[in-house]
Amino acid sequence: MAGGSDASETSTLSCAQCRKPAHLQCPKCVELNLPREGAAFCTQDCFKSAWSSHKSVHVKAQLSSIAKVLPGDQNSDLIAEGWLYCLKKGQSRTPKLPHFDWTGPLRPYPISSKRAVPGHIVKPDWAIDGIPKVEPNSELQHVVEIKTPEQIERMRETCKIAREVLDAAARIIRPGVTTDEIDRVVHEATIAAGAYPSPLNYHFFPKSCCTSVNEVICHGIPDARKLEDGDIVNVDVTVCYKGCHGDLNETYFVGIVDETSRQLVQCTYECLEKAISIVKPGVRFREIGEVINRHASMSGFSVVRSYCGHGIGELFHCAPNIPHYGRNKAVGVMKAGQTFTIEPMINAGVWRDRMWPDGWTAVTADGKRSAQFEHTLLVTETGVEVLSGRLPSSPDVFPWLKEK
């Protein structure tokens, strides 16, 4: 009870150093709300001589505060194995949950240490030091490349691998699976196919794919959180193979989800389908956003503005820039031989996004849910080829695709 610490209670405490009656409390223990026994001292001298061993009490308490957000035995193991929270662009780590004005119920969890890529896998230039060197300096940031038939064939191969990797991830999704386990499947399936997981160390991104749960819009970092019944989770896979990138994502249901989430995910799937259906030579890139905005707003949902589709090929991200919202100022018209992504992010509430302290995780400003689907596309002479399209082997995870 507050204000109830009387003299008799205090007088029962004995000095943690010499066992004499104690009247001083360690201020750090008070701050951390630790038990008064073991934190009491008779004099400053006893407090000082106890300090070198006593201070470990504070460290233990701070580590076990992590245990409160991660129920179960695994927490102390996680910390011992080097699982830590990610700060700013994956360049530093902390054992304590960072402070933030969280917008919804979701919180970050510790992330595992970096996964290795075997020497025989050909790596993009950011794999070693986290810094893309060719990509930001390429003229392909300004001009939209027309791929040669040989480049197109490599894009087909790469996107098929990316699709198979995403499908492998989709098959393990269920309550209790951590997003780190999804990342492990993506990492191992990518390497087994002889490819490099493009996100790994891209601008210091710490993992091999993005996993975006509930109010996360995109770029969620796989971590120790277990998926819960009723969650939605987007898995975004990009692989680099034979010098080309292939990029796609899907949003999955974890167990049984509420009706609004079901509608949000289906509407987002339809937004991407409708956008793809207008792709052909001569169409303006800015039309894509009109189609998506029309369908999303019709269902009462909003379109994310801060993240766009992009050109893709030998570069992960290049021209054209493809906004998904209406009345956008995207430049240019589609031409046969161009490859780019469309990847609408649709929110149940407001369109505005915020960034977590990790520098990657984009969340909705109001904490309501967000869904996304992405494909890598080729503009053909007559229309479009969905390079990352579903395969006969793809798992049946979307109820609206099941034939009656």
145, 181, 236, 250: which one binds ligand MF3 (CB under 6 A): 236
Among 341, 361, 370, 372, the residue binding Co ion under the rule CB under 5 A is 341
Q: Smallest gap, in angstroms, from Cβ of residue 219 to ligand MF3?
A: 4
- Rounded to 5°, the CA angle 223-158-271 comes to 70
Tokens of 389: 């399209």
162 contacts: CB under 8 Å, gap ≥ 6: 237, 238, 239, 246, 247, 248, 376, 388
| 374 is a site residue for ligand MF3 (CB under 6 A) | yes
199 binds, among Co ion, ligand MF3, none (CB under 5 to 8 A by kind): ligand MF3
At residue 218, the 3 state secondary structure works out as strand
SS3 at position 213: strand
Total of residues contacting Co ion (CB under 5 A): 5
User: Which one among 214, 238, 347, 364 touches ligand MF3, defined by CB under 6 A?
Assistant: 238
Least gap, CB of 341 to Co ion (angstroms): 4
Please work out the total of residues on this chain that contact ligand MF3, with binding judged by CB under 6 A.
11
Q: Which does 202 bind (CB under 5 to 8 A by kind): Co ion, ligand MF3, none?
A: ligand MF3
Partners of 303 in beta bridges: 346
Q: Choose among ligand MF3, Co ion, none what residue 241 binds, the Cβ cut-off being 5 to 8 Å by kind.
A: none
For residue 233, the minimal CB distance to Co ion (Å) is 14
Of residues 41, 85, 126, 202, which one binds ligand MF3 by CB under 6 A? 202
Beta bridge partners of 342: 375
User: By the 8 A CB rule, do 93 and 85 touch?
Assistant: yes
Report yes or no: 372 and 217 within 8 Å, Cβ to Cβ: yes
Q: Which of 214, 231, 364 is nearest to 302 (CA)?
A: 364
What are the angstrom distances between the C-alpha of 198 and each of 88, 124, 241, 324?
A: 19, 8, 9, 23
Q: Distance between CA atoms of 54 and 17, rounded to whole angstroms?
A: 9
Site string for ligand MF3, 245-264 (x = CB under 6 A): --x-----------------
Q: Does 210 bind ligand MF3 (CB under 6 A)?
A: yes
What is the x/- site pattern for ligand MF3, positions 322-361, by CB under 6 A?
---------------------x------------------
CA distance 361 to 88: 10
Under rule CB under 5 A, residue 236 binds Co ion:
yes
Minimum distance, C-beta of residue 102 to ligand MF3, in the bound complex (Å): 20
Binding site for ligand MF3 (CB under 6 A): 199, 202-203, 205, 210, 219, 236, 238, 247, 343, 374
